[in-house]
Amino acid sequence: MSVEVARTSEIPVGTMKRVTAFGEHVLLSNVGGKIYATQNDCGHQRASLARGKLEGNIVTCPLHGAKFDVTSGRNIEGVRMGMSPELMQKMPPEVVVMFKNMGEIMADIEIRPLRTYKVEFKGDSIYLDKVT
Ligand code: FES
């Protein structure tokens, strides 16, 4: 059964909106005038992708930088925990080692694809349904 979650006017081209449907956080993304719906929680450690950056059909997670295709939910790039060489030189060696270890642990965590939802329209309203 589909549920109404937003109006198309709330999501201009190139923007995203987090909504709730079926007790789940869902990310609506407007890619070139077409609305796509995926789970909002990152497939890495569940950060809100609505706080990330949408470029074309790719959303970048605001926490560790993993990238997902919002049209398919597919993970296309892993975590990126980069620090500029200038900043690294200003840090105590113990902190640099700690960040390096954290980066290696993060890289081992599996990144899952995003669940997708079926999107329907009735007038200006957006409806979602679960993909079975
Ligand atoms: S929580 Fe999204 S990349 Fe780690």
pTM of this prediction? 0.89
Q: How confident is the model at residue 90 (pLDDT cuts 50, 70, 90)?
A: very high
Nearest Cα residue to 61 out of 82, 46, 73? 46
Place of tokens 């980066």: 103
How many whole angstroms from 95 Cα to the centroid of ligand 1?
Answer: 21
For the Cβ of 47 lying below 6 angstroms from any atom of ligand 1, the answer is: yes
Residue 132 pLDDT > 80: no
Is 94 inside any structural domain?
Answer: no
CATH of the domain at 122: 2.102.10.10
Sheet holding 16-21: strands in order across? 16-21, 24-31, 34-39
CA distance 67 to 119: 22
Sequence-distant (≥ 6) Cβ neighbours of residue 35 within 8 angstroms = 8, 11, 28, 29, 119, 121, 126
How many whole angstroms from 88 Cα to the centroid of ligand 1?
Answer: 22
Domain boundaries, position 7: 3-80+111-130
Residue nearest to ligand 1 atom 4, measured at CA: 64
Is 91 inside any structural domain?
Answer: no
Q: Could you read off the pLDDT of 16-57 as tens digits, one per residue?
A: 999 999 999 999 999 999 999 999 999 999 999 999 999 999
Is 34 inside any structural domain?
Answer: yes
Is 41 inside any structural domain?
Answer: yes
Q: Phi, psi (5° rounding) for residue 99?
A: -65, -40
